[in-house]
Amino acid sequence: MPQYEIGIILNPNLDGAQAALEKEVIKSALERYGASIKNVDDWGNRRLAYPIQKDPEGNVVFYTVEMAGNNNAALERELRLRDHVRRVTIIRDRPEWRNSQKKK
């Protein structure tokens, strides 16, 4: 199954429990779409290069996921519906290409 990298930016003003709940919801949504989570990369609250929804910070989380690629758009749409989710990107991750693309 192809591997994807899902980048999500959450509202940074959530307290710990709310953020955990939001991540739980995201996780269950991912699993509902048949994704098996291989790695979670949580950057926490981070200063962004430009304000998103008038907020200069964002809670950045990356998921590395294996799933069938036929309903990415639906998954993206569903994640976007959450109020606290501000950005979603799903990008095909090809670890087998990485070495050949490494400079030098």
Partner 1 sequence: MSNRTNPKGDRQDRERSVRRGRKPKVAAAVGAFDLTDFKNVEVLRRFLSETGKILPRRRTGLSAQEQRKLARTIKRARMLGLLPFTEKLVRK
13 binds partner 1 (CB under 8 A): no
For residue 58, state whether it binds partner 1 (rule: CB under 8 A).
Answer: yes
Least CB distance from residue 30 to partner 1, whole Å?
18
Task: Tell whether residue 87 is a contact of partner 1 (CB under 8 A).
Answer: yes
Is 9 near partner 1 (CB under 8 A)? yes
Q: Rounded CA gap, 101 and 88, in Å?
A: 25
Minimum CB distance to partner 1 smaller for 34 or for 48: 48
* DSSP codes joined into one string, 31-61: HHTT-EEEEEEEEEEEEEEEEETTEEEEEEE
Task: Please tell me the distance from the alpha carbon of residue 10 to that of residue 57, in angstroms, as a whole number.
Answer: 9
- Residue 23 and residue 10: Cα distance in Å, rounded? 9
Q: What dihedral do alpha carbons 34, 36, 41, 42 form, nearest 10°? A: 50
Q: Does 74 bind partner 1 (CB under 8 A)?
A: no
Q: Is 91 in the site for partner 1 (CB under 8 A)?
A: yes
Residues at the site binding partner 1, with contacts judged by CB under 8 A: 7, 9, 41, 48-50, 52, 58, 60, 62, 87, 89, 91, 94, 97-98, 101-104
